[in-house]
Amino acid sequence: MTTPINIVIKGTNKLNKLIADSVPGILAELKNHIGKKVTKIDGHFLESIKPSITKHLPTQKGRPIAYFDNSNYSIRLEYKICLSGGSYDDNTYYCKYFDQSVYLGTLKDQVLTEVRDGNLGEYQEKITLAKELKKVEQYKKLKEKANDIFNDIDENVKAHFYLSR
């Protein structure tokens, strides 16, 4: 049965796999350009390096599902996917969007000064319903304990430290 939490887990895992599969190639390519001008004034990549970097972008039905978001200070890769399924006939159709921004490197005056390390651990572990439910339970217990401690703090001390909920 497809439940909302199962859809979230499936979509998150799909997005993480896309990131883990595509980012290493992009980082490897970017490392070749450290210390060089890589973007135009408008933030787009220079035509001379664009093909070697964009060839690593994941596609769906021939269209990229990630795009570069370059600013004056950084290069980020923005991923956006839609997970859909079910049926209109039995009113089980769903469409859920998932997006993630991944920092790739630092720019200064259009020059690439730094590329993130290749550690993509946060995108490589598959999440499961059991693990996530365990984390939710841990969070609830800690939050309850924190609330108990908060309630024990004197009101004047709370005001002094600007403590609030």
127-150: pLDDT as tens digits:
999 999 999 999 999 999 999 999
Q: Determine the Cα–Cα distance for residues 98 and 109; give it in Å rounded to an integer.
A: 32
Same domain, 32 and 98: yes
Same domain, 51 and 83: yes
- Quick one: pLDDT at residue 142? 96
- Quick one: pLDDT at residue 33? 96
Do the beta carbons of residue 116 and residue 37 sit within 8 Å? Answer: no
Q: Determine the Cα–Cα distance for residues 99 and 57; give it in Å rounded to an integer.
A: 15
Percent of the chain clearing pLDDT 70 (strictly above): 99
Same domain, 100 and 162: no
- Quick one: pLDDT at residue 30? 95
* Total number of domains in the chain: 2
Q: Determine the Cα–Cα distance for residues 40 and 110; give it in Å rounded to an integer.
A: 7
Tell me the pLDDT band of 122, cut-offs 50, 70 and 90: confident
Asked if pLDDT for residue 39 goes beyond 90, the answer is: yes
Mean pLDDT score across all residues of the chain: 90
Same domain, 138 and 61: no
Q: What is the mean pLDDT of residues 44-53?
A: 91
pLDDT tens digits for range 74-112? 999 999 998 888 888 888 888 899 999 999 999 999 999
- Quick one: pLDDT at residue 20? 93
Q: Determine the Cα–Cα distance for residues 98 and 103; give it in Å rounded to an integer.
A: 17
Domain holding 90, by residue range, is 4-124
Extended beta strands in the chain, E state: 59-60, 63-64, 66-70, 74-85, 94-108, 111-115
Asked if pLDDT for residue 124 goes beyond 90, the answer is: no
Same domain, 114 and 134: no
Tell me the pLDDT band of 113, cut-offs 50, 70 and 90: very high
Q: Determine the Cα–Cα distance for residues 65 and 59; give it in Å rounded to an integer.
A: 5
Asked if pLDDT for residue 165 goes beyond 80, the answer is: no
Tell me the pLDDT band of 1, cut-offs 50, 70 and 90: low
Same domain, 28 and 100: yes
Q: Determine the Cα–Cα distance for residues 26 and 20; give it in Å rounded to an integer.
A: 11
